[in-house]
Amino acid sequence: MKNNFLLTSIFFVIFGLSLSTSFAQNDSIYVMKDGIIIWEYKIADIDSIIFYKPVIEEEEEGTNGTFTDSRDGYTYQTVQIGSQTWMAENLKYLPSVVGPGTGSNSEAYCYVYGYESTDVDAAKATENYTTYGVLYNWTSALNACPVGWHLPSDAEWTQLTDYLGENAGDKLKEAGITHWADPNAGANNESGFTALPGGYRGSNGHFYSIRYYGSWWSSTEYDTDNAWRRYLNYGNSNVDRFYHYKSLGFSVRCLRD
């Protein structure tokens, strides 16, 4: 978050100034710190005093921006929600790709929904990649975000949903049924997060539920084999929290450091 600093000034014209007990004598003004005089000014030499106070302006909720990932040149939309800055798109970084039949709890793997081979350029040429981004197992998700961004923790996801309050899922999901299955009723994307349902890669080696469900990893482990995730679906306004096998392939949303 960038802070904009404004200077506000208050002007006091000294006329018939009444001195407080902080002044050692009645013809001088003393600036003191911890009981020690650090500056002395003669009243006869002063015609005004200006007090400067910095004011910090918070970026407004829903403020949009962009970020270009230097690794592949892709430019992401970003959004300020409360005190957090999120990517407003699913991550698309794809250093390598495998089909859904390959999986691991410990080795890093990336997937593109519906793509069954290992050619990165071919995977990037698919409509699902363009719209919904990449699915990552937990190990690959941990290091997928670019420098200056990170995979959000379970607590940071909770911070987001607590901030949005009631019907947080509707405020996160893209409205309409262009990318979500019908009905997606109530979705309004009030937050600007633009959540899209990229489906997932299951532990049995198949893809499931694109357009119906979106799941996003957190960086927080539940135990050796599982990690926490957040989940949205087309049928309600909930943001569900649960843990799953690290071998599953879920979407990633990066959070600015």
Contact (Cβ atoms closer than 8 angstroms) between residue 20 and residue 35 = no
Residue with token string 């392939």: 249
C-alpha to C-alpha distance for 57 and 64, rounded to whole angstroms: 16
Residue 17 has pLDDT above 90, yes or no: no
181-208 pLDDT, tens per residue? 999 999 999 999 999 999 999 999 999 9
pLDDT over 90 percentage in the chain = 75
Residue 7 has pLDDT above 60, yes or no: no
Eight-state DSSP code of residue 222: S
- Hey, where are the domains in the chain? 4-57, 64-256
CB atoms within 10 A of CB 163: 15
What is the C-alpha to C-alpha distance for residues 47 and 99, in angstroms, rounded to an integer?
78
Residue 42 is predicted with a pLDDT of: 72
**What is the rounded average pLDDT for all residues in the chain?**
87
Q: What is the pLDDT of residue 27?
A: 72
Return the sign of the alpha-carbon dihedral for residues 69, 72, 77, 83. negative
pLDDT tens digits, one per residue of 135-158: 999 999 999 999 999 999 999 999
Distance from chain centroid for Cα 233: 20
Binning pLDDT at 50, 70 and 90, where does residue 227 land? very high
Instruction: Please give the model's pTM, rounded to 2 decimal places.
Output: 0.77
pLDDT tens, position by position, 20-64: 334 445 676 666 666 666 667 676 777 766 553 433 334 455 579
Identify whether the C-beta of residue 132 lies closer than 8 Å to the C-beta of residue 197: yes
